[in-house]
Amino acid sequence: MFNYRVIALIKRELQEKLLSKAFVLMTLLLPVFMIGIVGVQTFIMSFESEGSKIELITYSDTLASKLQKVILEESFVKNGSLITTIKTVSENDFEKYLAENENILLGSQLDGIIFIPKSALKDKKIKYYSKTPKNFRLLEKIDRPINKVLVEEYFSSKKIPIEELEYARKSVDITSFKISEDEDVKEEGYGGLILSYLFSFLLYLSLIMMGSMVMQAVIQEKSNRIVEVLLSSVTSKELMTGKILGAAITGVLQMTIWLIPVILVASTTWFMLPPEAMIDVTFLQIAYLLFNFFLGLLIFVGLFTMIGSIFENPQDAQSGMWPILMLVMIPFFISMSMIENPDNPIANIASMAPFSAIIVMPAKMALVDVPIWKVILSTLVNIATVFAIFPIAGKIFRVGIMMSGRKPKWSEVVKWLKYKY
Amino acid sequence: MIALEVKNLSKSFGELKAVDNVSFTVPEGSIFGLLGRNGAGKTTTIRMMMNIIMPDSGEINFKGINAGPEFNSKVGYLPEERGLYKKMKVLDTLKFFAEIKGKKGKQITKLAKEYLERFDLSDRMNSKIEDLSKGNQQKVQFISTLLHNPEVLILDELFSGLDPINTNLMKNIILELKAKGKIILFSTHVMEFAERMCDHIAIIDNGKIKLNGSISEIKADRSKLNVGLNYEGDISFLHHHPIIENISDYGNNVGIRVKSEDDIQKLLKLLVDNKIVVKKFDANEISLQEIFIDLVGKEDAEVNHV
């Protein structure tokens, strides 16, 4: 299958793709874009909570002064993202107070009023009045100090030493350890999670991007009749192989470039990351990822090439594309679901099933220690999928690429499989 | 000596018999014309020869090689519907098409440059195909069929859409190649070209070969009752005259077919008697166009006069 013709075709594909502006831009801009999105999001979030003003109203002066003390310790007071004023208003007068301040609340001088009634010492129920009461970020900030003060106030009469209180107040701090077949038990941070996200996303993006790129190219070759000249020199199988391998090599190269930051983070100390975000990845894993991606490209670019050969213009091809898109998207969502529970049974099946294994297995590996035999088995499944798809795609390609005119029906496409080609 | 043989080739698309038991032979060093109307089966026959579509039955034989990659590597093929990679540069395009035929290196580059020079394209070597005019694109594609030094050239409707100067240039190159012993097979529905260039022809209609052989033999065979006439005057009286079988009017020239050999002398007398100024009276002459129309049916819009 690898003769001078296929090599010439691959060379041309690489020349065309690697030197194209789209490739260079996409390869360089995607990481910038991703960092940009995270940056913009952080920026917007920090911006939005700048300088909210609320009033904290308690029923008693003692509670107010305690609250004052606790609030002053909070970071939101220090960085000025939330300005609080603490007042005391008796329960009977609160209704009146609220009515008086209604205009201020409706205007933008004040974002909200929190009232802590006496009953809060029994049921911890407090009230928040605002034009936009569902501001969870704000309530999330204020809820801890209020709870702290209420708990202190509640137990102050119960003669419990302050240290015991401290203990009771503490929430459980879970440190995760990853048990693996290695000797040492490692403290596990969020690195794996980040990596899993990243891989799934990059895989998903690349498969769809490379796939539709090749599909467009096939449609173009078909519609402007280059294909007839090509087929007078190469067989349709060679043409298809050349196109798919050209795209797969381009894709792997692109992925390698994208993974360079990950490799550098994992293997050098050039980047200072917090220990929870440490990425634990070996070169063998990177090599596996790239090989897996290569198989993925063979499978999906193969399918996209087949679809491209059936249709003569991109609009018609849209309708043929969606089943293939589903084959990429569903596994992607399964991968995403694994972030909540890596042992999700659907994910377990998907990591071994044809098509989905390509996307789910690497994501799974970043999260849990998958036994090596499972990795090998899933790789074998992928290789088998490649071998199962090629003859089918090849037959459809061979017939489709020379068909012109009317858009074929699916039943006709199925018939092509039986053609003597 | 027969070099290329097409034997009993058939292909159906559903109900339609596109090519029906087509056979012909092409001797070495000759120019062969596959003639037929649009849709007669020329392109399908050629595509089967190039292994682009599979025949239902039949075979192609070139010096012992059947249709397939090996045969293809010896052929330069110019399809009727031309296509090139629009974003590729001219020289890169030529090198690529040579490379998929298994030829590369300095010599191919040199040859490509020589051809570009000949076609007055050497200043466009590094232009993208899409920046070239249609005629120039066609020239590039023609060059791309020659670079790998093919033994057989298959040219589907080569001259369609070319200006006279480029037509002449290509004609000269084809004649050069013929002198080098190559086989040139071209399909056309333009009889004038075929008449001037071909040594052998096959006329195909509705997928069937109607006539096959050397053009001089075919003509000799069919010209006994034919007269080529160049005249001044009004010859309308000849229509419906009992000795006349058929008149093909080409303006100043007419081809006249009489009913029996004796009628040729009667015709000459008739013309003189009717005061027609006879400038040329060529007995035993028939044009390919006449043969074609005679075989394929009534003259209609699809058969071009050039």
Closest CA to A254 of A24, A37, A34, A32: A24
Q: How far is CA A197 from CA A177, A207, A280, A340, in A?
A: 20, 16, 14, 12
Could you tell me if A130 and A259 lie in one domain?
no
Q: For the purposes of burial, counting CB atoms within 10 Å of the CB of A166, is it exposed (0-12), middle (13-18) or buried (19 or more)?
A: exposed
CA A240/CA A235 separation, integer angstroms: 9
B150 to chain A: closest CA residue: A233
In chain A, which residues have their Cβ closer than 8 Å to the Cβ of B52? 228, 231-232, 402
* pLDDT at residue A421, rounded to an integer: 54
- The whole-number pLDDT of residue A302 equals 94
- Looking at the structure, give the CATH architecture of the domain made up of residues B224-285: 2-Layer Sandwich (3.30)
Residue A10 lies in a domain: no
The beta-carbon neighbor of B83 closest among A4, A15, A224 is: A224
- Hey, are the CB atoms on A8 and B96 less than 8 Å from each other? yes
Which residues contact residue A342 at a Cβ distance below 8 angstroms, ignoring those fewer than 6 apart? A364, A367, A368
For residue B92, the chain A residue with the least C-alpha distance is A12
Residues of B in contact with A229 (CB under 8 A): 77-79, 82-84, 97, 141, 144
Q: Using N-to-C axis directions, what is the helix angle for A61-73 and A136-156, rounded to 10°?
A: 130
Residue A207 lies in a domain: yes
Q: Is residue A270 domain-shared with residue A327, that is, in the same domain?
A: yes
Instruction: Look at residue A185 in the predicted model and tell me its pLDDT.
Output: 55
Of residues B79, B99, B141, nearest to A8 (C-beta): B99
- The tally of domains found in chain A comes to 2
Q: Tell me, what CATH number does A128's domain have?
A: 3.40.190.10
The answer to whether the CB of A405 falls within 8 A of the CB of A311 is no
The whole-angstrom distance between B254's CA and the closest CA on chain A is 41
- The tokens for A7 are 């090599």
Contacts of B94 (CB under 8 A, 6+ apart): B108, B112, B115, B116, B140, B143, B144, B147
Flag the least confident range among A402-411, B58-67, B94-103.
A402-411
**B100/A11 touch (CB, cutoff 8 Å), yes or no:** no
CA distance A16 to A11: 9
Q: Which of B63-67, B179-183, B235-239 has the lowest mean pLDDT?
A: B235-239
Sort A162 into a burial class: Cβ within 10 Å, 0-12 / 13-18 / 19+.
Answer: exposed
Domain hosting A86: range is 51-171
A234 & A269 share domain: yes
CB neighbour burial string for A381-408, b if at least 16 within 10 angstroms, e if fewer: bbeebbeebbeebbbbbbbbbbbeeeeb
**Nearest residue to A306 (alpha-carbon basis) of A241, A234, A361:** A241
Which residue among B79, B86, B96 places its CB closest to the CB of A228? B79
With beta carbons under 8 A apart, name residues in chain A contacting B77.
229, 232-233
**Do A267 and A345 lie in a common domain?**
yes
pLDDT confidence of residue B75: 93
pLDDT value for B304? 41
User: What distance in Å separates residue B236's CA from the closest CA in chain A?
Assistant: 47
- Report the C-alpha gap between A307 and A322 in whole angstroms: 10
Q: Which of B100, B145, B146, B156 is most worth mutating to test chain A (most A CB atoms within 10 A of its CB)?
A: B100
Calpha distance B108→B103 (Å, rounded) = 7
Phi and psi torsions of B9, nearest 5°: -80, 130
> Are residues A69 and A104 located together in one domain of the fold?
yes
Amino acid at A190: Y
Å from A30 to nearest chain B CA? 25
Question: pLDDT class for B301, splitting at 50, 70, 90?
Answer: very low
Same domain, A293 and A352: yes
In chain B, domain spans? 2-215, 224-285
Counting other chains too, the contacts that A25-33 makes at CB distance below 8 Å and 24 or more residues apart are: A26/A209, A26/A254, A27/A254, A27/A257, A27/A258, A30/A205, A30/A258, A31/A258, A31/A261
Asked if the structure places residue A361 within a domain, the reply is yes
Take residue B14 and report the two structure tokens written for it. Answer: 């559903």
Which residues of chain A have a CB within 8 Å of the CB of B79?
A: 225, 228-229, 232
Q: How far is B192 from chain A (nearest CA, A)?
A: 27
Q: Do A232 and B85 touch (CB under 8 A)?
A: no
What mean pLDDT is predicted for residues B146-159? 90
Whole-model pTM?
A: 0.76
Please report the pLDDT score of residue B46 as a whole number. Answer: 93
Instruction: Please say whether the beta carbons of B167 and B190 come within 8 A.
Output: no
Which residues fall within 8 angstroms of residue B102, CB to CB, at 6 or more apart?
A4, A5, B73, B148
What is the three-class DSSP state of A161?
coil
Instruction: Let me know: does A59 contact A51? Beta carbons within 8 Å.
Output: no
Asked if B52 lies within 8 A of A9 by C-beta distance, the reply is no
A228 → chain B, closest CA residue: B79
First CA to last CA distance, chain B: 33
Residues A261, A388, single domain; the answer is: yes
Task: Indicate whether A279 and A406 sit together in one domain.
Answer: yes
- Average per-residue pLDDT for chain B: 87
- Kindly report, residue by residue over B258-296, the tens digit of the pLDDT: 888 888 888 888 888 888 888 888 887 788 888 888 788
Same domain, A60 and A154: yes
Q: What is the DSSP letter of B22?
A: E
Kindly state which CATH superfamily the domain B2-215 is placed in. P-loop containing nucleotide triphosphate hydrolases (3.40.50.300)
What is the DSSP track for B143-182? Answer: HHHHTT--SEEEEESTTTT--HHHHHHHHHHHHHHHHTT-
Whether residues B81 and A232 touch (CB distance < 8 A) is answered with no
For B49, name the nearest residue in chain A, comparing CA atoms only.
Answer: A232
Helix (H, G, I), strand (E, B) or coil at A271: coil
Size of interface A-B (CB pairs under 8 A): 69
Report chain B residues whose CB lies below 8 A from the CB of A8: 96, 99-100, 104
Low-confidence stretches of chain A (pLDDT < 50) are none
Q: Which residues in chain B are contacts of A5 at CB distance < 8 A?
A: 69, 100, 102
> In angstroms, what separates the C-alpha of B197 from chain A's closest C-alpha?
24
pLDDT confidence bin for B302, thresholds 50/70/90: very low
pLDDT exceeds 50 at position B172: yes
Chain-chain contact of B100 with A234 (C-beta, under 8 angstroms) = yes
Cβ proximity of B44 and B19 under 8 Å: yes
Asked if residue A28 belongs to a domain, the reply is no
Which of A228, A239, A411 should be substituted to probe chain B, the one whose Cβ sees the most B Cβ atoms within 10 Å?
A228
Residues 6+ apart with CB under 8 A from A167: none
Contact B137, B113 (CB under 8 A): no
What is the structure's pLDDT at B228? 86
Residues of B in contact with A232 (CB under 8 A): 50, 52, 72, 75, 77, 79
Find the CB nearest A12 among B47, B83, B96: B96
Q: How far apart are CA A366 and CA A349, in angstroms?
A: 17
Contact B238, B247 (CB under 8 A): yes
pLDDT of res. A43: 72
* Token output for A296: 């993925």
Residues in B closer than 8 angstroms to A15, CB to CB, are: 92
B226 phi, psi to nearest 5 deg: -110, 145
Tell me the C-alpha distance between A227 and A398, whole Å.
Answer: 11
ipTM of the complex: 0.81
Q: Tell me the percentage of chain B whose pLDDT exceeds 70.
A: 97
Inter-chain residue contact A232 with B75, CB threshold 8 Å? yes
d(CA A403, CA A309): 9
Q: A230-246 pLDDT, tens per residue?
A: 999 999 899 999 999 99
- What is the per-residue DSSP string for B55-83? -SEEEEEETTEETTHHHHHTEEEE-SS--
- A71 & A109 share domain: yes
What letter does residue A407 receive in the DSSP assignment?
A: P
- Interface touch B100/A9, C-beta < 8 Å: yes
CB contact under 8 A, A228 and B72: no
Q: Give dist(CA A101, CA A104) in Å, integer.
A: 5
Does the pLDDT value for residue B186 go beyond 60? Answer: yes
Mutation site for B-interface testing, chosen from A232, A403, A404, A418 by largest number of B Cβ within 10 Å:
A232
- Please judge whether A227 and B83 are an interchain contact, meaning their C-beta atoms are less than 8 angstroms apart: yes
Q: Is residue A387 part of a domain?
A: yes
